[in-house]
Structure 1
Amino acid sequence: MPKDPPASWPGRLPAPSPATVLPDPAPVRLLDADGSEVSLPAPDLLDGDPHRISGGGGPDREIAGWAGPWPVHTRWWAPDAPGPTARLQVALADGAALLLVHRGTRWEVAGVYD
């Protein structure tokens, strides 16, 4: 009888992994259809549907699809632990795909999928 595949590790992103991980994540704004910023009222809950991404000095880019958010719990026991963090995958209408990370009160592009 074949074995079941191993359960996914909590906090792990689903495949595929980003091909490029940025050494210095670039801050961006995640916007809903009305232009309001999308934030995280809870580590696994968005307060709106992502519609566009803004930042990097170029024009806004439309989001065709997204998955997540996935909360990241790192060093939660340490006094100097970072605040709540979550990851979000977005597929852009121009064919690009990005890994976004929410830290504190802002979104950052942490990785690029090829």
Structure 2
Amino acid sequence: MKATIWHNPGCGKSRATLEILQGRGDVDLEVLEYLKNPPGRDKLVQLYRDAGIAPREGVRTYGTDAEERGLTTADDATVLDAMVADPRLIERPLVETDKGVRLCRPPERVNEIL
């Protein structure tokens, strides 16, 4: 099975999710450090759609000014514009497989798409 993780090595939840993926013997894993190579707007739209969540549900509030900027209640276009401009606003980790996409908080949510 192929899996892609949008990963931040500085994040414990992201590292734990990566460990789950690496611990399986059947995963062809692509690791993308999204702060270095952020997904574009179209990819973010697809990821959130496939995860079944609104972009504002994928906003990282801890350590960002997302709440002060009203991003937790903003419309999709506003949230996506902000994420594209500042990828630190993207909550992590996002994992994509042929079975779907999950925002893996907690990390065990990745098992839903494996």
What TM-score does the superposition give when structure 1 sets the normalisation length?
0.27
Which structure has more RCO (C-alpha within 8 Å, separation ≥ 6)? 2
What TM-score does the superposition give when structure 2 sets the normalisation length?
0.27
Task: Choose between structure 1 and 2: higher helix proportion.
Answer: 2
Task: Choose between structure 1 and 2: higher strand proportion.
Answer: 1
